[in-house]
Amino acid sequence: MITLGRVGRPVKALLEAHKNTYSDIRTAQRAVAEDVRKWVADGTVKPEDISIQESFQALVLEQNPNLDVRMSSVSELREAMVSSSFPTITTSLINATFMREYELATDDILQLVTQRESTRPVETYAGTTSGDRGSFTEEGAPYSEIQIGEKYITIPNFKFGKGVSMTREMVLFDQTGKLVERARANGEYLGNLVSTFVSYRLADTAWSEVDIAGTSQALVINGTRRAMYADTHASWDTYANDNSYTASLPSISTVKAMRKLLSGMKDEKGEYVVARPKVVFGHDLMRDDLIQFFVAQEYDLGSAERDRNIYQNSVKVVTTPFFPSTTAWYYGDPARQTILQWVWQPRTVHDDMGDPRRDIIGSWWSSMMLGVGCEDYRFVIYNAYAG
């Protein structure tokens, strides 16, 4: 079995091993690129361990001995590179690094949403009528059907992207680290964008990147923006459904009151909505307070009776530095009402156009297209604590 060592010139050695198996040099080079791609993808090899200079020599110059990285034109270098297996390796290095950082940046925040696929610029979700639950049916009588209600919500999609370019100097001076670092920065950047997008939608706050009109579009019903959090929603949704609680830090009395608000939610026909709190979330600066009460605290330190903390370890704590408020916090089941829809998830594609003016011989673009919005407001209680 061929393995990629860390001593000497591993890609070159890998090519020599495959040349003993395949008579055609291009087939051997494709096998090298595929091995490296698999090893980088499964974590056997780190992107930083692959030399782009050595890869270029083994997969490009091996077939084009007259090329000179220093003197040949960008178009000559680009044409030779495109017809080789070199882009397979570099794309693997860049995408693996990009995705590693992207996943680190979004690991927590994605627990607060339900992810769906999207196939339209703006997705429309029709709501079912209230009270569409199983009901008693007489013998021989037909079962009732779930009906599509008059309400519908809309969630538009937005495209985001960032690029990584490889210059002549990166190959000449073997600057794998610089290429990997740029890919890492791109992954973190797009991951932070997703986290910010979700955070602002959960907070029902306008995000300047997409909310050009200056108002949050977190909950848009029948084309009209509706406030997510309020003492009453009765002006447009029949019942008050108070989901905004008096500003305060977590305590037994506070959480009990917020839980009662959550349990008191009704649909348009007056039926109670089953909302089970699973998460408490907010800004990173609130993490210590949330962890102290919901995880570490066995007793209610804020009361004279020191009552047992019945909410200890009852919910998961999720925080991120991207919430617009550093002090407000939320309690409930946000994934029941918050949608993150993907037209396409983060991906990296190779662009072989190059740019002679800047000695760029290839570029890799990481992009995503998504939308975030809510289809309800009854599953989260907002606490407007202001510090």
- Long-range residue pairs from 205-214, CB within 8 A, at least 24 positions apart, any chain: 205/324, 205/325, 209/158, 210/156, 210/158
Residue 6: what pLDDT? 46
List the single range of 123-127, 220-224, 330-334 with lowest mean pLDDT: 123-127
- Distance (Å, rounded) from C-alpha 168 to C-alpha 71? 10
- Distance (Å, rounded) from C-alpha 346 to C-alpha 103? 10
List the domain boundaries for the chain: 115-133+143-387
Residue 214: what pLDDT? 94
Contact of 331 with 317, CB cutoff 8 Å: no
Residue 146: what pLDDT? 55
Average pLDDT over residues 298-303: 78
Q: Does pLDDT of 58 surpass 70?
A: yes
Give me 212's structure tokens.
Answer: 């050009």
- Distance (Å, rounded) from C-alpha 331 to C-alpha 247? 13
- Give me the amino acid identity at 190: L
Mean pLDDT of the chain: 90
Q: Does pLDDT of 180 surpass 50?
A: yes
Give me 44's structure tokens.
Answer: 């056997």
pTM: 0.88
Q: Does pLDDT of 316 surpass 50?
A: yes
Contact of 72 with 194, CB cutoff 8 Å: no
- Distance (Å, rounded) from C-alpha 234 to C-alpha 241? 8
pLDDT above 90 coverage of the chain, percent: 70
Residue 114: what pLDDT? 97
Contact of 263 with 275, CB cutoff 8 Å: yes
- What count of residues does the chain have? 387
Q: How many CA atoms lie within 13 A of 123 on its CB side?
A: 22
Map residue 58 onto helix, strand or coil: helix
Which tens digits make up the pLDDT trace of 5-56? 444 457 888 899 999 999 999 999 999 999 999 988 888 888 888 899 999 9
Q: Does pLDDT of 139 surpass 80?
A: no
SS (H, E, C) 312-345: CCCCEEEEECCCCCCCCEEEECHHHCEEEEEEEE
Which tens digits make up the pLDDT trace of 199-253? 999 999 999 999 998 999 999 999 999 999 999 999 999 899 999 999 999 999 9
